[in-house]
Amino acid sequence: MQPIETIEVETLTVGCDGGGGALGHPLVYLTLSAEGHQTECPYCSRHFVLKEGAKTGTHGH
């Protein structure tokens, strides 16, 4: 069993296809949680986290 891959992203919505090719899965779009800014793919268990310092486009002014 391979270790779970953690991927840093710069947006709150990410697409995952399991790496594509014959070993991939259908493309799914995932939204990072409001708290913790992370999510996990239900197909391949890749763990997506918001990169530190990423601009999310939320209005904080």
Nearest in space to 9 (alpha carbons), one of 41, 51, 44, 47:
51
pTM to 2 decimal places: 0.80
Average pLDDT, whole number, for the chain? 87
Question: Following DSSP, what letter does each residue of the chain receive, concatenated?
Answer: -PPPPEEEESSSEEEE-TTSGGG----EEEE--TTTSEEE-TTT--EEEEPTT--------
Whole-angstrom distance, CA of residue 55 vs CA of residue 8: 13
- Is 3 or 9 the better-scoring residue by pLDDT? 9
Split at pLDDT 50, 70, 90, the class of 41 is very high
- Answer whether residue 27 shows pLDDT above 60: yes
Predicted local confidence at residue 10, as pLDDT? 95
Q: Which residues pair with 27 in a beta bridge?
A: none
Predicted local confidence at residue 56, as pLDDT: 72
